[in-house]
Amino acid sequence: MVSPPGPASGLVAPDAGLDVNTVIDLGSLHLDVSFTAPPGATVAILGANGAGKTTLLRLVAGLWRGASGHVRLGELVLEDSAVGRFVAPERRPVAMVFQDFLLFPHLSALDNIAFGLRCRQPELTKAAARDMAQVWLERVDLAGHGRSKPGALSAGQAQRVALARALATDPKLLLLDEPLAALDASTRSFVRSMLAEFPGITLVVSHDHVDARTLADHAIVLDNGSVAQAGHPADVLARPRTPSLAAMAGLTLLSGVGDGTAIVFAGGLSVPCSLVGPAFVALAPSRLDLATHCSADDDRDNAAADNTITGWPGRVSTVTALGERLRVEVATDAGGHIVAVDVAAIEAERMLVDRPVLVRVPHAAVAAYA
Amino acid sequence: MGALALAFMVLPVLSLAWRAPWSRFGSELAKPEVRDALRLSLVSSFVSTFLAVLLGLPLAWILARAQFPGRRLLRAVCVLPLLMPPVASGVALLLAYGRNGTVGRSLGRIGVHLPFSTPGVILAVTFVVLPYVVLTTESALRTADVRFEDAAATLGATRSVRFRRITLPLVAPSVLGGAALAWARALGEFGASITFAGNLPGRTQTMPIAIFLALENDPPAAIVLSLILIGVCLATLLLLRDRVLV
């Protein structure tokens, strides 16, 4: 079971970890987030656009000051509104990789990396900083690109320079905003292994459930400025509570009310379940099936006879090709719920928009949770 | 119509070249008063451009980044010297820094007399060209992505390091562009200079003033001086474009 959302949910932090409790009102967004992360943890921050993911990173970095709350990193109190403490971003042992990299356009790739080194270690000479930067360039497999200006780098190369620039400052906390978005598959696995070697705490904002599963050992889901879910990424993604997280995980999310024998959704659709009270049902499109060959009434009779499958009549609303499969979205006749079903590409000619179909829901495919 | 506009712009310059007594260039340049005027023009234009950048940068920063009531009014005030007729600027400067001016009287007490002096020329020219630097720099700062400064902060850069190593280099092309514009305007400054600093050969007589006076006494000399001034201006800007602005 997933632990209920709330302060410090799920992630029990020893003193040496990260402890964030921050509130800020930005007009369009009221952010109120608490979470903790143990030393060495990688925490995926998931959620829809505008849910507050980047805002949270900026608050932890000190680029914005929270209206109240605290940010503690091990022994360091980076921010504590109770005592009026606020450590400026340049004095926090925190590095950030921005979504669009923000490499300084007037500095070469090498000097971009050396910049942070010299800021964090003022005793370094220019030459020494450049030597260290060169080592970092080699580490991200860009040894020959030191003299290139950011404008001459590909997105993947710029991304790696940005990552090297952040890691070179030897942060205790690394903040990554969509770190793998611009990378091709081979670079992704390269960067993943680099992040795995990073000893500090990492917060990583992501839109990609694969990134969340492979990079992170914890996940928090933001919804409209607050923590909607927290826990292990696989658990969180298997039991989404917000439509955006369900979409990210590729699941259909329905919410209904359980009466002890079934969960009933708006419009009267139901699936058998013993839960009582408000409940969610997540359905994986690959585990559902569509019937189009006979009349819905026949099929409903069949489904009724087979007490391991429930049938929901509806009409095809959209069809999208996904490689070998077709993702068919069906609007159910009862309640107008949109249910995604994967079918073989060979079925394409039968999946006409507005055609009546029957969504077959095997009871074994129903993941229900309160 | 386009051709007409082009002819309208080019014809006067061609006439200048056409009527120029080319043999007199050497003798004119050899005249001490011409060399004095040329030197004063160069000195005053460069010094006032330098001052305009020095004073204009902080002001542009405030206009672009600070939030305070009356910011728009302040911006309008900064544009004022651009809109004022230069002669009126000269009169205004006399009222402020002249012998009996609001500030000039106090300056006089400590022995500083700006009108009719070389520093007075520089003061007048700086007054006229300051808006060029302020406006171009302000718009560059306004359009520059402040998140580069955020990125620098997360890399450990203090406020002053961020300004010197990130913001300033990012807006430098615009600042230099504004400075080049200001310098070209400074080199030709006439109205405010002659009103505030007068026409003292060797001290306040710049090239434009020398040309204006020559036109009455010795028109061919005025042509020669005009071409020299145009030549200096073009040569400097071309040199800057190759070295700095690209």
Partner residue opposite A95 with nearest CB, options B147, B150, B155: B155
pLDDT at residue B90 in the model: 94
The conformational region for residue A69 under phi > 0 = left, psi -120 to 50 = alpha, else beta, is left
Instruction: Let me know: does A46 contact A236? Beta carbons within 8 Å.
Output: yes
The DSSP call for residue B245 is I
Residues 6+ apart with CB under 8 A from A201: A17, A18, A37, A39, A40, A41, A42, A43, A73, A172, A173, A174
B164 touches chain A (CB under 8 A): no
pLDDT at residue A297 in the model: 53
Helices (H), A62-220: 109-120, 126-139, 155-168, 185-197, 209-215
Chain B residues close to A170, C-beta within 8 Å: none
Nearest to A179 by CA among A221, A129, A146, A214: A214
Looking at this predicted complex, what is its ipTM? 0.82
B99 touches chain A (CB under 8 A): no
Partner residue opposite A96 with nearest CB, options B154, B157, B158: B154
CA distance A53 to A51: 6
pLDDT at residue B238 in the model: 87
Chain B residues close to A116, C-beta within 8 Å: 155-156
Structure tokens at A64: 């914005």
How far does B204 lie from chain A, in Å, by closest CA? 42
Residues 6+ apart with CB under 8 A from A110: A130, A133, A134, A137, A146, A147
pLDDT at residue A302 in the model: 55
- Which H or E run contains A59? helix A53-61
pLDDT at residue B141 in the model: 94
How far does B63 lie from chain A, in Å, by closest CA? 22
pLDDT at residue A203 in the model: 96
Residues 6+ apart with CB under 8 A from B205: B33, B36, B37, B40, B199, B213
Average pLDDT over residues B36-51: 95
Asked if the Cβ–Cβ distance from A102 to B157 is below 8 Å, we say no
pLDDT at residue A276 in the model: 93
Maximal C-alpha separation, chain B? 67
pLDDT at residue A304 in the model: 53
Asked if the Cβ–Cβ distance from B158 to A90 is below 8 Å, we say yes
Chain A residues close to B165, C-beta within 8 Å: 115
Asked if the Cβ–Cβ distance from B153 to A106 is below 8 Å, we say no
A residues 82-101 closer than 8 Å to B (CB): 88-92, 94-96, 98
Asked if the Cβ–Cβ distance from B154 to A95 is below 8 Å, we say yes
Q: Write down all domains in chain A, each with its CATH number in brackets.
A: 18-239 (3.40.50.300), 250-369 (2.40.50.100)
Q: Write down all domains in chain B, each with its CATH number in brackets.
A: 31-68+83-245 (1.10.3720.10)
A136 touches chain B (CB under 8 A): no
Residue with tokens 């090297």: A164
Instruction: Let me know: does A176 contact A205? Beta carbons within 8 Å.
Output: yes
- Which H or E run contains B189? none
CA distances from A306 to A278, A311, A360 (A): 27, 10, 11
Asked if the Cβ–Cβ distance from A95 to B151 is below 8 Å, we say no
pLDDT at residue A2 in the model: 40
Chain B residues close to A61, C-beta within 8 Å: 153-154
Average pLDDT over residues B152-167: 95
Average pLDDT over residues B144-164: 94
Average pLDDT over residues B97-101: 89
Nearest to A214 by CA among A44, A39, A35, A17: A44
Tens of each residue's pLDDT in chain A, 370 residues = 344 444 444 444 445 799 999 999 998 999 999 999 999 999 999 998 889 999 999 999 999 999 999 999 999 999 999 999 999 999 999 999 998 999 999 999 999 999 999 999 999 999 999 999 999 999 998 999 999 999 999 988 998 999 999 999 999 999 999 877 767 777 788 888 888 899 999 999 988 888 888 889 999 999 999 999 999 999 999 999 998 899 889 999 999 999 999 999 999 999 999 999 999 999 999 999 998 865 545 555 555 556 788 999 999 999 999 888 999 999 999 999 999 999 998 888 888 899 999 999 999 999 999 8
Instruction: Let me know: does A34 contact A60? Beta carbons within 8 Å.
Output: no
Partner residue opposite B155 with nearest CB, options A62, A115, A175: A115
